[in-house]
A and B are shown apart, each in its own frame.
Chain A
Amino acid sequence: MGAEELANYGAGFHEMDNDDNFSDSEVVYHVKDALNSVSLGDSDSYDQLVGVMHHNERLAPEEVALLVTSLKALSGAVSYIDAVLHDSLLTSIFRMNMWNYRPDVMDALLELIISLAASNGKHVSSCLEMLVSNFTPPYSFVDTLKQPRGLARKEQVLSRVHSALKHIADLVPLAPSILSPIVSQRMPIYAKEPLAVIYVENMLKLESGAIGEFVRSTMLMAMMDMLIELDVEIGWDDILRDDSSKGIFQMELENADEIADYDEEDDYELPRELSRKSLGGNLIAEKLDSLMALTFEHLESCKANGRLSEVFEPLLDSFRITVLTTYKSKFAQFVMFYACALDPENCGVRFATLLVDIFVSKDYPMPFRMSAVAYLASFLSRANFLSAPFVAIMLKRLVDWCLEYCKTGGEINPVSHRLFYSACQAIMYVLCFRMKSMMDVAWFKSHLLFIEPILKHALSPLKVCLPSIVDEFCQQAEVANLFSSSEEFVFSDSLESEHSKAFGGMERLDMFFPFDPCLLRKSDRFIRPYFVYWSMVRPPCDEAEGISDEDIGEQEIDLDVSKMSITPRKSSAYWIHDGFEEPRGMPARIRPSTSPESL
């Protein structure tokens, strides 16, 4: 190639549209020459080539043709591209954003990216990074995403990106192991909602795609990490302040019937929803909500394809490693709940068993064991898909553990026996929800009787656990004739006692009920059909007194319900009157989520 020819390099490309004399191999030859001449100190045609890659705004048809030709020619000459020598060319190629181009340019670009990745080990991670950066559209494109045109473009880009990733994995078998960290490090946690959602969509697509086998656990764990990250961004205070301004007041208006109706009509405008808006306006909560809904949909599709158990294992790991160890996660745990709901016999059983195992295992630190038992109690109470015998088996393990613990003796001491108290509280909490069905499990009845010696042990769990739970439990136990001797436990109407504060520790794990109703609007739609609301719980009633006591019964339910509420009645009134003031102590902050059930 002479100097003159070099100077006309760009022009040569332009001519090509009309001039069929240039064959593909000739163009490749030109490009090779341009690449080689850089090392000889002559970079004119190389610079022109780089310039072609830089054009991305409103390309004229001939510019598009030039770009496509150049990309194709480069694919044929990848082995001549040197990571150091042709750095500027590589940078401009990797900066190209597929969302800006037409499908033919996308195809040519991806062909080049695949060839690059396969040609030299040094390019692999840059190529993968480039593809991952195309997971999300440029910022300016976000609004277009809602239009059909935007959706079509999204489909065009993403299907190509994922097929390219598969292609690279076929050629470079270790590529998935490089891809995983890239994807998890580039998660746009704090990006705008549509970008975060589209990114997670891509992660889930990878998980279910051809290379899913290799990236599954990283993708799912990274996704859960993202959920947790957002979860902890939403403080309990955020929930509370919004709640206290208007939520609780309106919540008080609704009654159990409305909730029952709600299940059948899929209508959002019921009063109940008003309280749901308490997190409205909180951008992080909305983002988290969308991501959770996306995850639920993904779980559904996994279920439909019969691979829920494949997905569940990494989720379970992630729960054990991340969610459980996060201080009072509020929402992310519902991913587990929903996966369990989709396959109670398998996932539900695995989940509950893991929680018990963690609780009884000495390998885990105390706060995790207490969290685990709190998760277990909440899960067994709230999941309507678990069979009574299974719940009984889980309770039996807790009861057995408590019996064993009682043998060690000791005096009432909320701090040093906190594990024991948290287990007792868990048993009582579950029984508050499930007393009736537990009484119906024939073999478990005898075990229920063991609860009395535990509760009346010198460790006095009844004096230490949350009075609201103890109260409700004792009432139900009395009606169910669970105790041989009736003994009144009278507490002041406060939600907590000094003791319960003490056993919960600084973390207030005594007040942790992870599966209280989900406050996120979209996510709640998925959870609702599988969820036991307190208002749906029918306490065991004395058959002798029967129907005549219905009115009283109803009153009682109301009372019980208010006691089960996390939000102390007094405090709630106090909020309504003086919404700006912080309620005293932690408990009110911790369980606002159950307050919908309170009245």
Chain B
Amino acid sequence: MEGLKVSDANLVAYVNPSKSTKVPQAVLRELSSLLFKFNETFDGVVLAYDVQIQDKVAKILPGLHPYFCVRLEAKLLLFSPKPNMLLEGKVVKLTQTSIHVIVLGFSSAVMTDEDIREEFRYKTKHGEEQYASRFHKRHVIKVGTTIRFSVKSFDEEILHISGSLVPTNTGSIGWLAKHMEDVSRIDRRSTKRGRESEGESVIVEHSEAYSLHSDQIRTSKKRKIKDES
């Protein structure tokens, strides 16, 4: 999954003089206030931090409240989804017009029917709503499925993502993991088939497949049968 990065940050925490006896606590509190909020300076949502106080000496701010400036060095885990990044999330709701996903357990994402590629068709099977692929019978998205999708936009205030399932490398992660290579291979094969008619052979391709994984072979064989029928 993309959209996660670790940044090294040099920070200054302004500690209230009343907290002078518990500076580390005050610093952690200050950093915790950054969590799960979008921060423009870091260009991302702070998910975690690992902080070290740089200096035992701190400058005192002149003025009415003598806050003191504690210099920190922190490693920040940031979440900053940008358009076209591929994210992963768990489906929590399906409707005829949308798929709702939660990313990393806190950010909600939605894909509306415009952004769900034609390949997926909404249907109800055994009382369960699902989006199923027209081309790959086993490529099914239902509540609980983890899917990969691409980012269209990100609302920084509420951390809401608008996503898309248009790119072909998006969809159910479980299926993609097993078949992504296959898909590309099938794509290749279909082009090869095109070439076959021009007199080339597919045997090389098959021997390649055997050397890979027995599971994949089975499925690819099945598909081949299906394709042929």
User: Is chain B a partner of chain A in the same complex?
Assistant: yes
Question: Which residues on A are within 8 Å of B, measured CB to CB?
Answer: 25, 28, 76-79, 115, 118-122, 124-125, 170-174, 177-178, 363
Residue total for B at the interface (Cβ-Cβ under 8 A): 25
Q: Does chain A have a CB within 8 A of B217?
A: no
Quick check: is B142 within 8 A (CB to CB) of the other chain?
Answer: no
Sample 29 A-B pairs with CB under 8 A, ordered by A number. Answer: A28-B97, A76-B95, A76-B97, A78-B98, A79-B97, A79-B113, A115-B95, A118-B93, A118-B98, A118-B100, A118-B108, A119-B98, A120-B162, A121-B108, A121-B158, A121-B160, A170-B93, A171-B93, A171-B100, A171-B108, A172-B158, A172-B160, A173-B102, A173-B105, A173-B106, A173-B107, A173-B108, A174-B107, A174-B108
For A119, A120, A125, the residue with the greatest tally of chain B CB atoms inside 10 Å of its CB is: A119
Distance in angstroms between the alpha carbons of A173 and B159 in the assembled complex: 10
Taking A120-B160, A121-B158, A122-B158 as contacts, is the C-beta distance between A76 and B105 under 8 angstroms? no
Which of B36, B93, B96, B155 lies in contact with A121, CB distance below 8 A? Answer: B155
Q: Does B21 contact A (CB under 8 A)?
A: yes
Interface mask (B156-197 → A, CB under 8 Å = 1, otherwise 0):
011110100000000000000000000000000000000000
Does B4 interact with chain A (Cβ within 8 Å)? no
Query: In the complex, what's the smallest C-beta–C-beta distance from A435 to chain B, in angstroms?
Result: 39
A121→B97 contact, CB < 8 A: no
Shortest distance between the CB of A215 and any CB in chain B (Å):
15
**A77-B108 in contact (CB<8A):** no
Q: Which residue of A lies closest to B108 (CB)?
A: A172
B153 nearest in chain A by CB position: A121
B158 and A178 form a contact (CB under 8 A): yes
Per-residue interface assignment for chain B, residues 29 to 51, with 1 indicating a CB less than 8 Å from any chain A CB and 0 otherwise:
00000001000000000000000
The digit string for B84-102, where 1 denotes a CB below 8 A from any CB of A, is 0000000011011110101
Check: B147 CB closer than 8 A to any chain A CB.
no
A86 to chain B, nearest CB (A): 16
Chain A residues with CB below 8 A from B155, complex form? 120-122
Given contact pairs A79-B97, A79-B98, A118-B93, A174 touches B159 in the complex (Cβ within 8 A): yes
CA distance A122 to B154 in the complex (A): 11
Q: Which of chain A's residues have a CB closer than 8 A to the CB of B97?
A: 28, 76-79
Given contacts A79-B113, A121-B158, A170-B92, A363 and B21 within 8 Å (CB-CB): yes
Q: Give chain B residues whose Cβ lies under 8 Å from the Cβ of A77.
A: 97
- Say whether, besides A76-B96, A76-B97, A77-B97, A118 and B105 are in contact (CB < 8 Å): no
Enumerate chain A residues within 8 angstroms of B158, measured Cβ to Cβ.
Answer: 121-122, 124-125, 172, 174, 178
Q: How far is the CB of A324 from chain B (nearest CB, A)?
A: 17
**Chain B residue at minimum C-beta to C-beta distance from A114:** B93
CB distance from B152 to the nearest CB of A (A): 12
User: Measured between alpha carbons, how far is A77 from B112 in the docked complex, in Å?
Assistant: 10
Residue from the list B92, B106, B114 in contact with A171, Cβ < 8 A? B92
Q: Give min CB distance, B92 to chain A, whole Å.
A: 6
Residues of A within 8 A of B108 (CB): 118, 121, 171-174
The minimal Cβ–Cβ distance linking B132 to chain A, given in whole angstroms, is: 18
Chain B residue, CB-CB nearest to A178:
B158
Provide the bound-state CA to CA distance between A172 and B159, in Å: 9
B110, CB-defined interface residue at 8 Å: yes
In the assembled complex, how far is the CB of residue A72 from the closest CB belonging to chain B, in whole angstroms?
A: 12
Closest to B159 in A: A174
By the criterion CB–CB under 8 Å, are B105 and A79 in contact? no
How long is the Cα–Cα vector from A160 to B97 in the complex, in angstroms? 24
CA of A121 to CA of B155, assembled, Å? 7
In the complex, which residue of chain B has the Cβ closest to the Cβ of A32? B97
Distance in angstroms from A354 CB to nearest chain B CB is 18
Nearest CB in chain A to that of B18: its residue: A363
Residue ID in chain B nearest A170 by CB atoms: B92
User: Considering the complex of A and B, which 6 residue pairs feature the smallest CB-CB distances, nearest first?
Assistant: A121-B160, A121-B158, A121-B155, A79-B112, A172-B108, A173-B106
Known: A121-B158, A125-B158, A171-B92. 7 other contacts (CB 8 A): A77-B97, A79-B97, A121-B108, A121-B155, A121-B157, A173-B107, A174-B108
Q: Assess whether A174 is in contact with B36, with CB atoms less than 8 Å apart.
A: yes
Which residues of the partner chain B approach A25 to less than 8 Å between Cβ atoms? 96
Measured between C-beta atoms, what is the minimum distance from B172 to chain A in Å? 19
Q: Report chain B residues within 8 Å CB of A363.
A: 18, 21
A172–B105 alpha-carbon span in the complex (Å)? 10
Least CB distance from B176 to A in Å reads 24
In the bound complex, residues from chain A placing their C-beta under 8 Å from that of B110 are: 79, 118-120
**A119 CA to B92 CA, complexed, in Å:** 13
Alpha-carbon distance A119/B112, docked complex (angstroms): 8
Query: A177 to B36, alpha carbons, bound, how many Å?
Result: 10
